[in-house]
Each structure stands twice: as structure tokens, then as C-alpha cells.
Amino acid sequence: MKNCEKIMGIFLELDNGEALPPRAVIHRMFCGRCRTEMRRLKDSISDIRAGSPFEPADDITETVMTGLMQSGASHGKRVSNLNWLGAGLIMLGGVFILSFSESFKWLSAFYGKHIEIPVSIVLSLILCIYAVIFIGTHLDFIKERINLPFLKINR
Ligand SMILES: [Zn+2]
């Protein structure tokens, strides 16, 4: 009798959809009284839920995603082509300016003429990374404008 009360306590404390602990499952298997009581409670909870006007859809993900698509919200902020061009020109200009700048002369004086080689490599790398990012983010744009055969493979 005391065990039945304990098991029913466990059952009543379960969250919606939570599985019954093994101890309670075993008790339910051998105790008809608890089994009937649990089924009765479960049925009445289902009835309440079915009649509730506040019942949310089982899966709201689809509704939310459809709403998002229809709202026309763009995913992530897109950098305009003009901004990209500006950034590229500034970087390219920076490479030329740096070659003739005072600080570069100072670096050359300090480290010797060979400083030009690593500096050039670093600057070239930055430009390469810039180009890769640009192409990566403008793949659709490039695909539309240029008919490159290797870009059509995935289509
Ligand atoms: Zn029982």
C-alpha cells in the first residue's frame, strides 16, 4: 500500500512525455490497481490537452521557418560589391604606398634590404585571402556573369 503511494507520487511528478523510472514500470506490471490509476490519469490529461485552446503545434519549426522565408529577411548582412571594390583598392594602394613609405625605409634600414621579401609575401598572402573571400562570397554573382565550365559541375 505504502509502495503504491510512492509509485503514484513518482508518476505524478513526471514531466510531460518523460519516461517512467524502471522501478515504477516494474511495480505497474505487477500492481493492477496502480496500472488502472495511471491509465485513468493519463487519459484525463490527454482529454484536457485535446480540449485546450492553448495547445501549441507539435512541431512549430516548420511554421517559424515558413514565416521567416516569407518575411524576406536576408540571412546575414551582405557586403555590397562597391564596398568590396573599395576595400580591395585600399589594400592594393596600401601595398604601393608601403613600398615607398618612411616606415618601410626604416624597416629596410633596420633589418636590411631582405625585409622586402617577407613583407611582400605577407602582403601577397593578405591579397590572396581577400580574393578567396571575395570569390567565396560572390560565387553566385560570378556564376551568373562568367560561364566557367568548372563552376557548372555542381548544378
Ligand atoms: Zn501499486
Assess whether pLDDT exceeds 50 at residue 127: yes
pLDDT class of 131 with cuts at 50, 70, 90: confident
In sequence order, what are the residues at sequence separation of 6 or more whose Cβ sits closer than 8 angstroms to the Cβ of residue 121?
none
* Residue list, CB under 5 A from ion ligand 1: 4, 31, 34
Q: What's the confidence (pLDDT) of residue 134?
A: 78
* Domain spans in the chain, listed from the N-terminal domain onward: 2-51, 81-152
**From ligand 1's centre to the CA of 11, what distance in Å?**
11
pLDDT in tens, 5-62: 999 999 988 887 788 899 999 999 999 999 999 999 888 877 777 776 665 555 666 6
**From ligand 1's centre to the CA of 13, what distance in Å?**
16
Average pLDDT, the chain: 75
**From ligand 1's centre to the CA of 18, what distance in Å?**
20
Select the more confidently predicted residue: 129 or 107: 129
Rg, the chain, Cα only: 34
Q: What's the confidence (pLDDT) of residue 78?
A: 59
> Based on the number of CB atoms within 10 Å of its own CB, is 96 exposed (0-12), middle (13-18) or buried (19 or more)?
exposed
What pTM, to 2 d.p., does this model score?
A: 0.33
pLDDT in tens, 71-123: 655 554 556 767 777 877 887 787 777 767 777 677 777 777 677 777 778 87
